[in-house]
Amino acid sequence: MKCLYCGFQDTKVIDSRTNEDITSIRRRRECPKCGKRFTTFEVYESLPVRVIKKDGRVEAFDREKIRKGLVKACDKRPVTMAQIEQIVDSIEKNIYNSLAQEVTSLQIGEQVMKALKPLDEVAYVRFASVYKQFTDIDNFIELLKKLKK
């Protein structure tokens, strides 16, 4: 690793630590030439995952879209941001662990609904109504009947 102060090419690692979820490594480095110390972070390189939308468009996976949808569905509900982040983390982990380079938006939506249902039924219905694109009240009532059972 090149020293960011003097540009010397061969710095020495003096300490390494993994973060809490073991997704990156923090390294403390020292330059033998100028003696200065600095910190670097190494993260795992993952393959990009593409999302195939309902209309056939393809875009890069973006965990922020899942988080925004959950925040809207859980608005004014007793669901904490920590719970929302936990759902997003879990879904992202599932997607990357599947090793698939492409995933459909339907698969993502189903995972979100599966996580929301036991957490908060109102948030679940809110999310489902947008995700399933209800066109009339009958679709909505059908979902409520299934939820009631």
pLDDT in tens, the chain (149 residues): 899 999 999 999 999 988 766 677 889 999 999 999 999 988 776 778 999 999 999 999 999 999 999 999 999 999 999 999 999 999 998 998 888 899 999 999 999 999 999 999 999 888 988 877 777 777 778 777 877 77
Alpha-carbon distances of 6 from 10, 14, 35, rounded to whole Å:
11, 18, 10
Name the token pair of 132: 């399933």
Name the residue among 62, 70, 58 with its Cα closest to residue 127. Answer: 70
Which residue, chain included where needed, has tokens 């300490």? Answer: 15
Q: Kindly report whether the global pTM for this prediction surpasses the value 0.75.
A: no
What is the spatial order of strands in the sheet that 102-104 belongs to?
58-60, 50-52, 102-104
Tell me what pLDDT residue 115 has. Answer: 95
Q: Is 108 within 8 Å of 91 (Cβ atoms)?
A: yes
Both 25 and 75 in one domain: the answer is no
In a domain, 7, yes or no: no
Instruction: Quote the number of domains for the chain.
Output: 2
Q: Which structural domain, as residue segments, surrounds residue 56? A: 50-148
Name the token pair of 75: 């608005």
In a domain, 60, yes or no: yes
Q: Is 51 within 8 Å of 108 (Cβ atoms)?
A: yes
Name the token pair of 111: 């995972």
Both 36 and 103 in one domain: the answer is no
Q: Which helix (H) or strand (E) holds 52?
A: strand 50-52
Both 88 and 19 in one domain: the answer is no
**What does the DSSP 8-state code read for residue 21?**
T
Q: Is 50 within 8 Å of 102 (Cβ atoms)?
A: yes
Both 88 and 29 in one domain: the answer is no
Tell me what pLDDT residue 21 has. Answer: 64
